Chains A and B, each alone.
Chain A
Amino acid sequence: MSKPAMQLVNLKKTIGSKPIIKGLDFEIRAGEVFGFLGPNGAGKTTTIRMMVGLIDITEGDVLIEGKSIKTNFKGAIQHVGAIVENPEMYPFLSGWKNLKQYARMVEGVTDERIKEVVSLVGLEKAIHEKAGRYSLGMRQRLGIAQALLHGPSILILDEPTNGLDPSGIREIRKYIRNLAEKENVAVIVSSHLLTEIELMCDRIGVIKNGELIAIEEVRTVENEEALKEVYIEVEPMETAKTYLDTHLPNAVGVGSKELSMSVKREEIPQILKNLMEQGISIYGVRVLQATLEDKFFDLIGENSIE
């Protein structure tokens, strides 16, 4: 496993007396696209603000390439490119001049580099127009260009597909995958839309009410490793349960006849064999092709904003 590009260590944020983020612990590796998923008000933006030092960290730390954003802000932030919430620009400056502003704030961003980034996000035509006249999608692209200028090793995008048309979303998705795979950039993408994030992420962290409630590897169609929901009709239930409690802790009984568990496809034959060896009769096996979306809703339940 590659070394973590970013590490969150027991990250907490309290505003007033209200705990907003309640201790996040996870890491993002170089070259992966990490989806940061959560309903409205879950604390995604707040977490991202802490990652980039816009707000103080109440407790814990964020380490970027091993450097603490708290104690070594410059050392840490130089590896980061980000859009926080909406991509805001100086409306009275052209796209190009907006980018020049940020180019001047770091060493070694040449005009060639700016052009390169502009063509990457496909803004060549409009780059000399005033940013105030840009559509939301164009601003989003300019925002991404701005974040990429200095060739960061970590890219943080808060709802990057917000306001993009389907083809725009597809392009950005392709581009993000490219960055991760070819340039080994760690990309963090926040969203409350699972369908969107599922298609571009390697892993998804689900956050709700300031707590990380799951981290999932994203399965792809050909991914045999992915977990599946398996229902097995058994008898007698008691014996089956005892066996499962000791060997498959994540399985549960459903009703009086069925067991349910998430396992990998390749594990199913072995489980069935083991059950039969225990003298348990099997009347049926159902494999549910549960989508991540079901999972997501299972995990977060109703979105009750605290």
Chain B
Amino acid sequence: MKLIWNEQIKLYAKKGTWVMFALLLVIAIGGGLITKFFGTESDFKEYGDNWQTELQEENAQLTAEMQDEEFGGFMNEMIIAENSYHLENNIKPQPYDGWEYVLENSFLTSVISLFTIIVAAGIISNEFKWGTIKLLLIRPISRTKILLSKYVSVLIFALTLLIFLLLSSWLVGAVLFGLNGLNPMVVQDMMTHYVHNDVLGEIAKSYGFSIVTLVMMATFAFMISAIFRSSGMAIGLAIFLMMAGNTIVAFLSQYEWSKFILFANTNLEQYTNGMEPTIPGMSLTFSIIVLLVYFAIFMGAAWAAFTKRDVAGN
């Protein structure tokens, strides 16, 4: 639709948008370089055919080290635990590669959330700030459509950032670390245990789950922007809630109703890989319903504020 095209033009005509892409690229490259030059060497170690023996020797050596030194024991313990997992399950350890780098970079989706919040917060309130809202709303197009085109534009922007992050991480990873085949298996540390999965599935999962938070927070910022017509407020509130969300939930988790808090439900990953939900008694279906209800409220409030209210004054 032409309206969405309009929004994208406005978005990419601004320098700030390009800065976001540039920052993401810099982080992807920087992160890669740091991992390459300061990463633990055990991660990059290539094992031969006798990898079982090599691992056992390594474990023995690490245990000895731990007795000599008082410090650094924690790192050693982790490596030993991982090595043991490989031995027990007969999985040959693979050196760190580009795929794993992509997977690790899924934490950067929170940066994408941040950028998306900024864009979502501005997409309505900026029109008010520039005064262009008056010119936008006197076209033979309903306010609902204009609102929708803006919302969809935000989602498209988030998706573009996500794809950009995936591609740049993959490229950086491939150049710096190489690739262990097309879809290698990876071992992941889940704090309490290890899991062994194919990397593409894991990448899809961790990026996919992060989209939930991203969409919810973007929608939230979008709503605040529509209601208060001020981007500062929308950005501030959304980022504050995104950062403080988990703390709030932890703080209130003693109460039964805390499971209805948005942030208790945004992390759907809590239901996978055998992890415990944040608050007992929650399930995937429960969370999805809660999320949908929040989503509907956010969109409804944004819609009501945008279509019903007077556009007056500066």
Contacts and interface: CB of A to CB of B under 8 A. Distances in A.
A55 B131 contact: no
Interface of A: 15, 46, 49, 52-56, 73-75, 77-78, 80, 82, 84-86, 88-93, 97, 100-102, 104-106, 146
B10 A93 contact: yes
B131 A53 contact: no
Contact of A90 (B13, B134, B142, B312): B13
Contacts of B131: 85-86, 88
A56 B13 CA distance: 33
Interface of B: 2-3, 5-6, 9-10, 13-15, 130-132, 134-142, 310-312, 314
Given A49-B311, A54-B310, A92-B14, A101 B9 contact: yes
Contacts of B134: 54, 84-85, 88
A285 B139 CA distance: 56
A171 B58 CA distance: 87
A78 B132 CA distance: 18
5 contacts: A56-B310, A74-B141, A85-B314, A88-B132, A91-B130
A54 B13 contact: no
Contacts of B140: 73-75, 77-78, 105-106
A54 B137 contact: yes
Contact of B13 (A89, A97, A104): A97
A85 B130 CA distance: 13
Contacts of B310: 49, 54-56
B213 to A, nearest CB: 30
* Interface SS of chain B: loop
A106 B139 CA distance: 7
Q: Which 7 A-B pairs have the closest CB atoms?
A: A88-B131, A55-B310, A78-B140, A105-B139, A104-B2, A74-B140, A54-B311
Contacts of A92: 13-15
A46 B10 contact: no
Contacts, number: 76
B144 to A, nearest CB: 11
Nearest to A91: B130
Given A54-B311, A55-B310, A104-B3, A88 B135 contact: yes
A224 to B, nearest CB: 40
Contacts of B130: 88-91
Nearest to B15: A92
Nearest to A75: B140
B10 A105 contact: no
Contact of B135 (A46, A102, A104): A102
B5 A104 contact: yes
A52 B134 CA distance: 9
Given A88-B130, A88-B131, A90-B13, A105 B137 contact: no
B138 A53 contact: yes
A146 B2 CA distance: 17
Contacts of A89: 130, 132
B253 to A, nearest CB: 44
A77 B134 CA distance: 13
Nearest to B139: A105
B142 A54 contact: no
B5 to A, nearest CB: 7
B128 to A, nearest CB: 10
A15 B311 CA distance: 12
Contact of A84 (B6, B13, B138, B142): B138
Nearest to B2: A104
A97 B3 contact: no
